Amino acid sequence: MNLDVTAVRRLEPDFWRAPSAHNTQPWVLRYIANGVDVGWDPAHALPAADPTGRDLRLSLGAFVETCLIVAADAGLAVEYVSDHDERARRVGRLIGTTRPYGSPFDAAAVRARSTNRGEYLPGVVPDDLLVRIDALAGEVNGWVAALPSRGLVEPLAAADRHLFGDAAVSAELADWLRLTPRHPRYRVDGLTDRALALSRAQALGLRVALRALPTLRRAGLPRLLAASSRSTLGYDGCVLVLVAPAGCGPAGDVEFGRVLMRIWLTLSELGLACHPVSQLIDCATTRARLAERLGVADPARLLHAARVGRPAGPSARSARRVQ
């Protein structure tokens, strides 16, 4: 089946609403004769924070799922064929098919979803919803664990100390922060002060602290920065952890990114939001502790962690390169 490439191209602004770690929007669409290759740009990867490419592949999977949902909503019959090639920096291809992708979601749901890093109301994910979310992960032989957020306050602080204690990881994060509207890429990509739910004073404080970090790293600045994130999980909420089966592999990670998008859209349509806390998985020590707590023998099977709940207020819309 031929793919109407011009019609697909027109949908790019909605495709770009997919979530990505640090909002780097790492995906690249390469239009070819009978389809569109989905690949990535290494300049938009996170080699320090994400050396295994786990978050890159999850983001690419979320992008693929978003493309399929948006194309189906526009009446285009598009399917995704996985064709992972590390050297060609390609995860797969969007091709024409006989009928549009079946999904309960539409382009409006894609536009309405956002990460919310503000305050959440107390409350855990209800059991029936957890069963639905777990079933989504089950479609790719994974599962979802729910943990009380308070129990993860200390591990999150440890993971943040690790993050700010690592020169390369914190410099990479600083590169993707846009803490003032005067930043030239404020409306393009990265994490803005508003998306991070920071007040002006907090944004200024973080800018000053990050600038001082190289000199004050040994003087305890990472500890101070980590302490400021204690409120993230210090309430009666819940953290969901996505667990992959053994031997999932790179193409499997992309499939989990697709599932992650379905989970986020499911929550978003119910007025719930997510705030990923990937540092818990990035830091080997906290990842190992979390895996042990969940009875998972191989910590590499933990793919993603996010606090989930009903946000106390709306979130700011994040920037995109294509809009």
Which C-beta is closer to ligand FMN: that of 220 or that of 317? 317
Which C-beta is closer to ligand FMN: that of 27 or that of 101? 27
Applying CB under 6 A, which of residues 35, 66, 67, 115 lies at the interface with ligand FMN?
Answer: 115
Q: Which residues, 6 or more positions from 167, have their beta carbon under 8 angstroms from its beta carbon? A: 214, 217
The least CB distance from residue 18 to ligand FMN, in Å, is 8
Main-chain phi, psi angles of 295, to 5 degrees: 70, 30
Q: Which residues, 6 or more positions from 20, have their beta carbon under 8 angstroms from its beta carbon? A: 26, 27, 55, 59, 62, 63
Q: What whole-number distance in Å separates Cα of residue 177 and Cα of residue 183?
A: 9
Which C-beta is closer to ligand FMN: that of 219 or that of 284? 284
What is the 3-class SS of 174-211, one letter each residue? HHHEECCCCCCCCCCCCEECCCCCCCHHHHHHHHHHHH
Q: Name the one range near ligand FMN by CB under 6 A: 55-63, 245-253, 284-292, 294-302.
A: 55-63
62 binds ligand FMN (CB under 6 A): yes
13 touches 320 (CB < 8 A): yes
Residue numbers 272-311 binding ligand FMN by CB under 6 A: 275-279
Applying CB under 6 A, which of residues 3, 11, 21, 38 lies at the interface with ligand FMN?
Answer: 21
Residue 111, helix vs strand vs coil: helix
242 binds ligand FMN (CB under 6 A): no
159 touches 280 (CB < 8 A): yes
Other Cβ atoms less than 10 A from the Cβ of 248: the count is 21
* Element (DSSP H or E) covering residue 258: helix 249-269
Total interface residues for ligand FMN by CB under 6 A = 20
Q: How is residue 284 written in tokens?
A: 């080997």
74 touches 107 (CB < 8 A): yes
The least CB distance from residue 24 to ligand FMN, in Å, is 9
232 touches 311 (CB < 8 A): no
170 binds ligand FMN (CB under 6 A): no
Which C-beta is closer to ligand FMN: that of 79 or that of 268? 268
58 binds ligand FMN (CB under 6 A): yes
60 binds ligand FMN (CB under 6 A): no
Q: Name the one range near ligand FMN by CB under 6 A: 58-66, 89-97, 138-146, 163-171.
A: 58-66
Applying CB under 6 A, which of residues 8, 19, 68, 311 lies at the interface with ligand FMN?
Answer: 19
Which C-beta is closer to ligand FMN: that of 165 or that of 276? 276
Nearest to ligand FMN by Cβ — which residue? 19
Q: What whole-number distance in Å separates Cα of residue 277 and Cα of residue 275?
A: 6
Which C-beta is closer to ligand FMN: that of 23 or that of 149? 23
Interface residues with ligand FMN (CB under 6 A)?
19-23, 55, 58-59, 62, 114-115, 117, 191, 195, 275-279, 318
